[in-house]
């Protein structure tokens, strides 16, 4: 049997900010877009627990957060700070894990089956991890321990902030049954709503549906996920390193725009930043996708696949602008994005026939 641990840093961005700015402590702190006195654009990235008392939550429009908590401290995210802090923490976690899967800046899965061997030792490891992160980084985390990633993640979420929750094989059913379906990784607002319309709200409800029923309603992949998740089954491995599938940048304008120069200049800028990352990763891409969001929030993507992989900035700029010209409607644009994918590691040599 496996022993899987999920470590989740508590209110990570906000906690990093509090650490760097002790004057923020004890006050509601919101990391995200500039509220601009209630007219700003964007959302809350993270807030501390003080701000949560006002009802502020992650992904909430910043204007709404501002109404709920006008006297809060609002700061822009400082990603270099979070990235550096996260990298040091992942280094700590790596020492304790047979296998480590980084699942974002603020969370990771650890396979500790071999090194722990039992839930008792796994708990001791979790305590050591918490202690080391607190001493070295002045940050707290929540830990879930179980037999797979699905339940470990649900467990880490169970006693936040700062808790350690263990769910053994025998306890899985009682642990998941009362939880809402939304706690399943992969179930978002749409699937939750659809299930609700079917009279399904908790995992216990979900477990009553047959596999056939679920696959008919939700398709092969999601149907299977729901069927297994409702039974606490998750065979997925802790994966050490994931390959990069796509690289891109997008930008929401301060004000919706139909100024073509502004849009084209933005494509240039986004392309340049995208290529910077592409060069760092030493990859060559074949497919270019642009994303357009209109003022009424309708969003479209358009892509073109090249004959030969490239990492060339001019090619990206030209193709991105071609795609824009070909597809853009006569409406104000809210967001524009550029993304590249379909990677290979080498620039494919031109065919010998060309000689």
Partner DNA sequence: TCTGGGGTCCTAGGACCC
- Just list the catalytic residues: 107
- Closest approach, Cβ 295 to DNA, in A, equals 8
Is 322 a binding residue for DNA by CB under 7 A? The answer is no
Q: Are 25 and 18 in contact (CB under 8 A)?
A: yes
Tell me the window of 118-126, 197-205, 311-319, 338-346 that interacts with DNA (CB under 7 A): 338-346
Tell me the window of 40-48, 110-118, 142-150, 206-214 that interacts with DNA (CB under 7 A): 40-48
Q: CA 116 to CA 2: how far, in whole Å? A: 10
Q: Which is nearer to DNA, 115 or 160 (CB)?
A: 160
- Closest approach, Cβ 52 to DNA, in A, equals 16
Q: CA 141 to CA 78: how far, in whole Å? A: 20
Site track for DNA across 133-162, x = CB under 7 A: --------------------x---------
Q: Which is nearer to DNA, 115 or 192 (CB)?
A: 192
Q: Which is nearer to DNA, 119 or 302 (CB)?
A: 302
Is 236 a binding residue for DNA by CB under 7 A? The answer is no
Contact pick of 69, 89, 97, 105 for DNA (by CB under 7 A):
105
Tell me the window of 22-30, 113-121, 139-147, 188-196 that interacts with DNA (CB under 7 A): 188-196
Is 221 a binding residue for DNA by CB under 7 A? The answer is yes
Q: Which is nearer to DNA, 244 or 260 (CB)?
A: 244
* 278-307: contacts with DNA (CB under 7 A): 286-287, 296-297, 299-305
Is 50 a binding residue for DNA by CB under 7 A? The answer is no
Classified as helix, coil or strand, 69 is coil
Size, binding site for DNA by CB under 7 A: 59
Three-state SS annotation for the chain? CCCEEEEEECCHHHHHHHHHCHHHCCCCEEEECCCHHHCCCCEEEEECHHHHCCCCCCCCEHHHHHHHCCCCEEECCCHHHHHHHHHHHHHHHHHHCCEEEECCCCEEEEECHHHHCCHHHHHHHHHHHHHHHHHHHCCCEEEEEECCHHHHHHHHCCCCCCCEEECCHHHHHHHHCCCEHHHCCCCCHHHHHHHHHCCCCEHHHHCCCCHHHHHHHHHHHHHHHHHHHHCCCCCCCCCCCCCCCEEEEEEEEEEEECCHHHHHHHHHHHHHHHHHHHHHHCCEEEEEEEEEEECCCCEEEEEEEEEEEECCHHHHHHHHHHHHHHHCCCCCEEEEEEEEEEEECCCCCCCHHHC
Is 103 a binding residue for DNA by CB under 7 A? The answer is yes
Tell me the window of 117-125, 143-151, 186-194, 314-322 that interacts with DNA (CB under 7 A): 186-194
- Closest approach, Cβ 120 to DNA, in A, equals 27
Is 63 a binding residue for DNA by CB under 7 A? The answer is yes
Q: Are 122 and 168 in contact (CB under 8 A)?
A: no
Is 249 a binding residue for DNA by CB under 7 A? The answer is yes
Is 202 a binding residue for DNA by CB under 7 A? The answer is no
- Closest approach, Cβ 185 to DNA, in A, equals 5
Q: CA 303 to CA 34: how far, in whole Å? A: 32
Contact positions vs DNA (CB under 7 A): 33, 41-43, 45, 58-59, 61, 63-64, 103-107, 153, 184-192, 219-222, 242, 244-252, 273, 277, 286-287, 296-297, 299-305, 327, 334-335, 337, 339, 341-342
């Amino acid at each position: 049997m496996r022993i899987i641990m999920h470590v989740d840093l508590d209110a990570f961005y906000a906690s990093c900010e509090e650490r760097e700015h002790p004057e923020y402590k004890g006050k509601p702190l919101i990391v995200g877009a500039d509220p601009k006195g209630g007219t700003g654009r964007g959302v809350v990235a993270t807030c501390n627990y003080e701000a949560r008392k006002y009802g502020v939550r992650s992904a909430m429009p910043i204007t709404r957060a501002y109404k709920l908590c006008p006297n809060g401290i609002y700061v822009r995210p400082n990603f270099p700070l979070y990235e550096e802090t996260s990298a040091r923490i992942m280094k700590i976690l790596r020492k304790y894990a047979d296998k480590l899967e980084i699942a974002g800046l603020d969370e990771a899965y650890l396979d500790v089956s071999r090194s722990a061997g039992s839930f008792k030792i796994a708990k001791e490891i979790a305590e050591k991890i918490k202690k080391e992160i607190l001493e070295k980084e002045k940050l707290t985390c929540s830990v879930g321990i179980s037999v797979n990633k699905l339940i470990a993640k649900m467990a880490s979420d169970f006693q936040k902030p700062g808790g350690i929750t263990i769910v053994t094989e025998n306890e899985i059913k009682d642990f998941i049954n009362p939880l809402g379906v939304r706690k399943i990784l992969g179930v978002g607002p749409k699937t939750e709503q659809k299930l609700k319309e079917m009279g399904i709200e908790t995992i216990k409800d979900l477990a009553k549906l047959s596999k056939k029923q679920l696959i008919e309603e939700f398709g092969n992949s999601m149907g299977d996920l729901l069927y297994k998740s409702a039974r606490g089954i998750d065979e997925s491995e802790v994966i050490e390193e994931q390959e990069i599938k796509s690289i891109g940048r997008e930008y929401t304008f301060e004000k919706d725009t139909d100024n073509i120069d502004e849009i084209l200049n933005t494509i240039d800028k986004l392309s340049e930043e995208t290529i910077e990352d592409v060069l760092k990763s030493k990859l060559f891409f074949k497919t270019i996708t642009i994303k357009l969001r209109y003022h009424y929030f309708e969003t479209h993507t358009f892509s073109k696949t090249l004959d030969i992989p490239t990492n060339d900035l001019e090619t990206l700029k030209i193709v991105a602008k071609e795609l824009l010209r070909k597809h853009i409607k006569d409406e104000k644009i809210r967001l524009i994005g550029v993304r590249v994918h379909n990677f290979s590691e080498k620039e494919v040599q031109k065919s010998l026939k060309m000689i």
